[in-house]
Amino acid sequence: MTLRNYVPAIHIHPILLVFIAISFFTGTFVELFIILAIVLIHELGHYTMATLFKWRIRSIMLWIFGGVMDTDEHGNRPLREEMLVTIAGPFQHILIYGIIWLIAVNELLPSSIILLMVHYNTLILLFNLIPIWPLDGGKFLFLLLSSFLAYRTAYNRTLLISLIFCSIFLLLQLFVFPFTLSSVLLILFLLKENRMDWKQRYYVFMRFLIKRYQGETPIKGIRSIVVSCENSLMDVFSRFHREREHAIYIKFPGDNRKTMAEKDCLQHFFYEKQFDKSIGEIARYLD
């Protein structure tokens, strides 16, 4: 076993390099070091929990006030697992409070440094709970919506809500709160990330479908879907829920119905390459 089996690859986002440069010019390197230490501990919480569930983890990307754990899991893990992995990050802040208390009791650091640690630990915890993607609050929102909405709908709504919150915070920072360059850069960075994720939402959904096609998704029940014979396969897939296998009822003219299994739809899309046919045409072909 190598060190790589226990410690993830950690990368620094270019935006963080900008903040490091700013900290040197503004004399706030101590504050930045505290922030980075807290963020790293936060992300290692996600990593440790994901490792316990044997997730395939590529790396951790650090950026100011947060980070992103890059994995090969794309909606193919149980909601409970994803929730625990998401919670593991904010839980680390409770442990950090404990560490700060021990440092304060034993007077290991000056009180000014301890106050900074408490301040930034609280700030990062609260910031990560804002419903902005890909912060933990955004992931909580996505998992919550995924529990009762179709995967594609839940993901799209999460990004839309996230974009709204980013826009609100940017307006508040520009016209209400005292202006700080760091805050504006951070919000602009999140807006850029959300805009990019919005453009790539189709590919995220396709990864989700591929995992279902490959049989790598947990199933905890059956959910019926009623569709028109004129619907495309993608229309049907857009109504797929996590942790549910779908029995698809196809309505034809004259109140006639036919049933089609989820795996048959996925087979005709990914293997047969029948992208341009309606589900009604495919159902007749199966007959």
Q: Which residues are catalytic?
A: 43
What radius of gyration, in Å, describes the C-alpha atoms of the chain? Answer: 23
Q: Which residues, 6 or more positions from 287, have their beta carbon under 8 angstroms from its beta carbon?
A: 258
Calculate the CA dihedral of residues 13, 19, 20, 23 and round it to 10 degrees.
Answer: -170
Burial label for 148, CB within 10 Å (0-12, 13-18, 19+), is exposed
Which tokens is 157 given?
């709504």
Amino acid (1-letter code) at residue 60: I
- 209 burial (CB, 10 Å; 0-12 / 13-18 / 19+) is buried
Q: How far apart are CA 158 and CA 21, in angstroms?
A: 33
* Structure tokens given for 153: 């709908």
Give the separation between CA 45 and CA 33, rounded to whole angstroms.
19
Distance between first and last Cα of the chain: 54
Q: Choose among 149, 99, 98, 89: nearest CA to 124.
A: 89
The strand order across the sheet containing 222-228 reads 222-228, 245-252, 256-261
Integer Cα distance of 75 and 218 in angstroms: 10
Q: Is 71 helix (H, G, I), strand (E, B) or coil?
A: strand
